[in-house]
Amino acid sequence: MTYENLLSRFLTYVKINTRSNPESQTTPTTQSQVDFALKTLKPELEAIGLTDIHYLESNGYLVATLPANDQSFTKKIGFISHMDTADFNAENVNPQVIENYDGKAISLGESGFELSPKEFPNLNHYLGQTLITTDGTTLLGSDDKSGIAEIITAVEYLSKHPEIKHGDIRVGFGPDEEIGIGADKFDVTDFDVDFAYTVDGGPLGELQYETFSAAELKVDFIGRNVHPGTAKDQMINALQLAIDFHNQLPENDRPEKTDGYQGFYHLHGMSGTVETAQSVYIIRDFEDTNFQERKDKVQEIAKTLNQAYGEERVIVTLKDQYYNMKKVIEKDMTPINIAKSVMESLDIKPIIEPIRGGTDGSKISFMGIPTPNIFAGGENMHGRFEYVSLETMEKAVDVIIGISSYQA
């Protein structure tokens, strides 16, 4: 179905910089997210006629309700998307709208970059559709402003069409998902639903209830710096320690060499001098046993290196971030079965595969609200080659409406 406000709403959202900041100690981590919630989204929810609209300073969530119009619907359902965008340039986003895509390479403004089906073959799925791309200088922000636009468009449509019966629908827009802390303070009691969906997936049909379990690993290396001319048997190079540590990890357990259910260690930051150095990794795996083995492995490597030096020069700090929500959702597959049934009724083929990542739903599920993930449409997210199909976004709205009005 075509929704008159969907495209304009999305274009408005993506032009607002809401990038999160991992170095900040505030909630949300950037004021721009607060402003987006209160100055852009809240007035829209009020205009649509939602009730109990409130912003929670404790966790940065904007929450609202579309009240039930049929009391025979006994389940309260929630839809959640995040306001922040990832760690790529998000200032002065200038989206391009490409109508009736012809299958050729798309020039990304004057940046010199292009979006080519030779490099990104998924473009071939969108012939004849309307694509929204970047101008090559920023990300787009489809992750997850597509989800926000889709949820608000769906509740707007339901509000204008009372002949579509539904129960209580709760919507929530939160901060800081991209830096892994957005749902840490999620208020389950305030949200008060039986189950929810994050609208934060990728291409058409994605329906996901398995995620990685995740941990952050920081390894500090303590060296001893002396003049290199007299360094023999005296210098301990912290940077070399970092290299030695990394080289003892399994060579093929890296993101670029894994897929499916394979886990990995991902080195995404390294800094230092001869005196001190630090490496930062993320650890990912699906199964509890494998996840624990990966964490044990880094402890063993550190222990071996410290024993070789006869003192502690490698210090490991591990922090679990989230866990595979499958353990919660598989106890009651109702939200999956509903979404699957709705997609099939709309001639959308459900793609039920594990997420090689995580969503806010990972944490929220363990807090007590089963929260699988459904598609929002974005492709090539988090960079200059990001794009989304308007037709896929429209189908996401169809699915949200279908789930909201589903009566078993």
Using the 8-state DSSP alphabet, how is residue 229 labeled?
A: G
| Three-class SS state of 210 | coil
| Phi/psi at 396 (5° precision) | -65, -40
**DSSP conformation class of 27:** S
Q: At what angle do helices 142-160 and 6-14 cross, to 10 degrees?
A: 140
Q: Strands (DSSP E) along 175-212, which ranges?
A: 195-201, 207-208
Rounded Cα distance, 274 and 353, in Å: 45
Annotated binding residues for Zn(2+): 82, 143, 178, 200, 382
Does residue 251 carry a catalytic annotation? no
Backbone angles phi, psi at 141, to 5 degrees: 95, 15
249: tokens are 């990890």
How many other CB atoms sit within 10 Å of the CB of residue 270? 16
142 and 377 Cβ atoms separated by less than 8 Å: yes
Nearest to 178, CA basis, from 30, 314, 57:
30
Question: Has 84 been annotated as catalytic?
Answer: yes
What is the edge-to-edge ordering of all strands in the sheet holding 131-133?
Answer: 96-98, 131-133, 387-389
Q: How far are the Cα atoms of 41, 50, 343 from residue 151, in angstroms, in the given order?
A: 11, 13, 16
Q: Which residues are annotated as a binding site?
A: 82, 143, 178, 200, 382
Question: Using CA atoms, how far apart are residues 344 and 369, in angstroms rounded to an integer?
Answer: 24
Give the Cα separation of 258 and 26 in Å (integer).
35
Q: Across-strand partners of 55?
A: 62
Q: How far is residue 328's CA from residue 351's CA, in Å, rounded to a whole number?
A: 20
Instruction: Return all residues near 18 (Cβ < 8 A) that are at least 6 apart.
Output: 30, 32, 33, 36, 83, 84, 85, 90, 141
Task: Decide if 166 contacts 38 (C-beta within 8 A).
Answer: no
User: Of 135, 168, 176, 177, which one is the catalytic site residue?
Assistant: 177
> Would you please indicate which residues are annotated as catalytic (active-site) residues?
84, 177
